[in-house]
Every structure is written in C-alpha cells, then in structure tokens.
A and B are shown apart, each in its own frame.
Chain A
Amino acid sequence: MLPEYFEFFVPARIAAGRGMSGSLGPEMEKLGVRRAFVVTDQVLMQLGLVQKVLDGLAGSAVEVAGIFDEVRPNSEVGLVEKGPGDLPELARVAGADVLVAIGGGSNIDTAKGMNIILSEGGHLLDYEGFGVITRPLKPLVAIPTTAGTGSEVTQFAVIKHEAIHTKLSFSSPYLAPNLAILDPELTVNLPPKLTASTGMDALTHAVETYVSTSWNPIADGLALEAIRIIGANLVEATTNGGNLEARYQMLVASTMAGMAFSSGMVGCVHAMAHAAGGLFDVPHGIANSILLPYGMEYNLEARPEKFREIARALGNDVEDQDPKAGGWTAIEAVFDLAERCGLPRALSEAGVPEEGLPTMAEAAMVDGAIFTNPRPAEYDEILAVLKKAY
C-alpha cells in the first residue's frame, strides 16, 4: 500500500563523470552565474584539490570572486554570522552571485547556512526549523570530496551553535544545491578510514530511509540500489583507494542515498549517532557504522520483509529464508561489511564512556531523526540498544 501522502523532492542537476570537475565552467555557465565565492577547508587547499576544481573554470565566463578556506570539521554558526567580516559579508563584498562548496558535509552545510544569510539577511536562528525559508536563495554548487553525507542533494543543513551548545537544523527545499558535480577523482585521496566511515554513513542513510515511516516508493528505489552499490564497492574503495571505478560507484551511491533520505528521512541509528557526536565527538560515520546493525535489530520486527530485501541487495541469497531470518542475514552482512573495512565495532572502542550511555539515550530521544523510526522507541529501549552496541 502506498503512503497516504508523500513528497519526493527532485533536487539539483547532477553532473557526474571521471574528471567532471574539469567542466565546472561550462556547467556553471548553464546556471547563468558569473562570480563564484568558494567555501572549502585547509586540507583540500593543501592537497591541491581546490585548485584542481577551480582549473575547471578556465576559459569560461565564470570567475572566482573569493575563497574561504577555513571551514572546520563541524559547520559553525560563528563562521556564518559573526557580523562584519563573516562569510556572507565577504561574499557580498566580493560581488558573488553563486556559492561553490568544495568538500565534505561540513563545507557544504556551511555554504548552505551562509547562503541563507547572504540571500535573506538576519540571523541563522531566525531560519531554524521546517519550511521557514520560503523562496529561492542564491544559486549553490556543491562538489563533494567524500562519498557519504549526500548533502550535495539534500534540503537539510546542520550547523553547530557553539554559544548555546546545540546544533541548529534547517529544512527547506530552497536549501538544496542547484548543481552537484560528482567527480571520483576528487575522492581518491580520502584515507581508508574516512572512506569506510563516510561510506557507512551513506549506507545508514539508505537503510534507515528504506524502512522509515516516511518511506515512499521513489526513495525506496534509490535507497535499495544505493545499498546494492555500497555493498559491492565499499570494501574495494577502502582497501584500494586508487580504484577510480569503486570510488565513482561510491560517490554516486552516496548521492542516491542522499536523494532518498531527503524525503524518506532517517531513524534511531542517526538519532543515536547525533548524540554520540554531540556528547563524545564520535565521528558521524563511525557512530553510524557501529550502531547500524543494532538499530536494524531493534527495528527488524517492524519491517521484516524490507530487511530481507536489504539482505538481497547486499548480495545474499535469501530465497529460502522467511522475512525475519532474511532480516538477520542483512544485519550480519552489515556487521561484516564494517568489519572488513576495519572500522571499530563497539562504542567502547570509539571513545564513549560507559557511564555516558544514559545521557546519550536521553539526547537520542529528543533528536528529530527518532521520529521517523519504524518502531516506536522509548528511553529504556534506546538505552538497551546502546548497551548492546557498547
């Protein structure tokens, strides 16, 4: 039976291919823009990746109006609205008519936040929430250098507010980038652990959205195919990072998972991972990787058939298995995948103190992601899942 109502959000134009960033200029010309303000970080500058991307503007009508290269691992409110000299101000003074985010989720989310203030003015806190932004912002181009967050196609942004120790969440179709450039050559430098953890983040998006209460058939198709691609390519991309084909597959799969969860949403694994990140600085992908099999186990009874489909997508023969047994096959396959990628398998290995679990459970209970979890979760149940994953 189809959902009574669903909305599938068709995001950015996606231009993908090996060396695609070399065509950045012509691709951006199609947006009708001329002056680009670039948002990125020091690591990518030093690796020469930013230069490689910007070389793609050569000979085009698009020029670089300015570069900000100091985004840190979390997008921060302070960068976006500290007043004179902040990012929107720099872009405005530079006469930018388009923002170009190069990097992982933090860089892209920072550019999204910056775009709100650049286009609308005011303070980020004024725009936190669901549907508060009601008209198109300035064009935004996203060029991911990791294969994980899907931020290049989502309508979400999460930005840390240092002063009030909280993360602000923004959701609006107008936040989505207008153009996403997928170039696997930009991801070959990603170290094995980051490749694996960001890839497990993408897998978690796909799995959680596929079983979510906000599921829809269009997102399901994308999610299931993303699961298949990640299952077939994550280990290779991790252990043989120079394999451009595996890199390309992962990059496309993470974007597909991003398209899926932009409408299908996520669930308790993300709620717990957000808590682990906020309280104990556990990297998002690592937390998801550890928690995903346990979250699947908790949710198995709510969606057994779909979990069996996940097992199938991950390459298992589940013909003779009933849905629940098939679901268990999926859980074991996910556990196995993370292990083969050399990722930590328990929260205790990821810097979480045991006495911190109750606080984590409390934080997960007030995280928006838990709301679309397929099986209702109470505090005690989430705490039990966390203890199992410890």
Chain B
Amino acid sequence: MAVFQSDVEVYDYIGEFISSVKDDPAIGPKIRQAGIIIRFVYREPQSQITIDARNPAPEGHFYTVYYGDSAVEPDLVMSMSADTAHSFWLGKVNLMAALTRGQIVAKGPVATALKLLPVIQPTYAMYPKFLKEHGREELVKFG
C-alpha cells in the first residue's frame, strides 16, 4: 500500500515539509543560490510539486513552492513514485543508485540536482520530526 493515499496527503506532508524549509536561514539561501526550478512529478498517487528558486520569492522566503500544475517552466524534472519521494526525504535513497535503477528519472541537467544534495542533507533529520509534529509519526517506518 502506498504511503500517501491522495495527492492532498502528498501536498500536506512532502509539500508542506519542503515549504517549511523555504525560510530556513541555513538551507534556504543555498537553495536560492542554485537559482533553478525543479519539478517533482510523483505517481501513486499522482501529484506534482515545483520548487522555484529562480524567480523572485515572496518577502521572507528564499524560494516558492507550487502544488499541482504550475505555469513555471522547470529546468529539471525528477519523476518517481510518491513512496520513493517519502523515502528520499527520510534520507534513505541513494540518488545515484536510484537513477541507475530507473526508480528516479531525471530530465534536464542532473548535475544541478546533485549539487543540491549536500545542501538538503540536514533536512533528512527534519522530515521525521515534521511528520511527528503533524501527527503522522507512523509514516516514518515506511521509509
């Protein structure tokens, strides 16, 4: 059974988690510095999250996060199951291996995503806490 039952759940947890980092003083500026737009296209359940670190972000944020369809044109599109995405944010996915196995397909300049990996490393510890704070601690074991 999939970790998330609907696109709304994907947005409530993965989406809101990514959004929660957008004013983080340590991580936010580094994502901003990458200056790119990444779209995550998930399946099971079908959903889509776009991080825009290129266009100006609202006051106090380092980037903008869109749920579902959005008009911004991404530099890089990463496609995977929502389960893989969940595991990824728990720090349990080796991106290189996942790309090789085809669990994640990266369309565009992959190096830009690889460059962000060390930047988002600290978030792997933050995601389980976020789930706990939002009453979904049980999801952590579905990494």
Contacts and interface: CB of A to CB of B under 8 A. Distances in A.
Given A5-B94, A365-B115, A376-B118, A263 B108 contact: no
A166 interface: yes
Interface stretch (A88-96, A192-200, A367-375): A367-375
A169 B111 contact: yes
Given A130-B110, A265-B96, A5 B101 contact: yes
Contacts of B115: 365-366
Contacts of B107: 126-129, 132
Interface residues of A, number: 27
Interface of B: 76, 94, 96-97, 99-102, 104-112, 114-115, 117-118
Interface in A357-390: 365-368, 370-372, 376
Q: For chain B, what secondary structure do more than half of its interface residues adopt (helix, strand, loop), or is it mixed?
A: helix
7 contacts: A128-B109, A129-B76, A130-B105, A166-B109, A168-B109, A265-B96, A371-B117
A265 B97 CA distance: 11
Contact of A366 (B104, B105, B112): B112
A132 B114 contact: no
B96 A169 contact: no
Contacts of A128: 107-109
B92 to A, nearest CB: 11
A126 B112 CA distance: 16
A368 B102 CA distance: 17
A129 B110 contact: yes
Nearest to B105: A131
Name the 6 nearest CB pairs between A and B, nearest first: A368-B111, A371-B114, A129-B107, A130-B99, A130-B106, A131-B105
Nearest to B116: A366
A4 B100 CA distance: 13
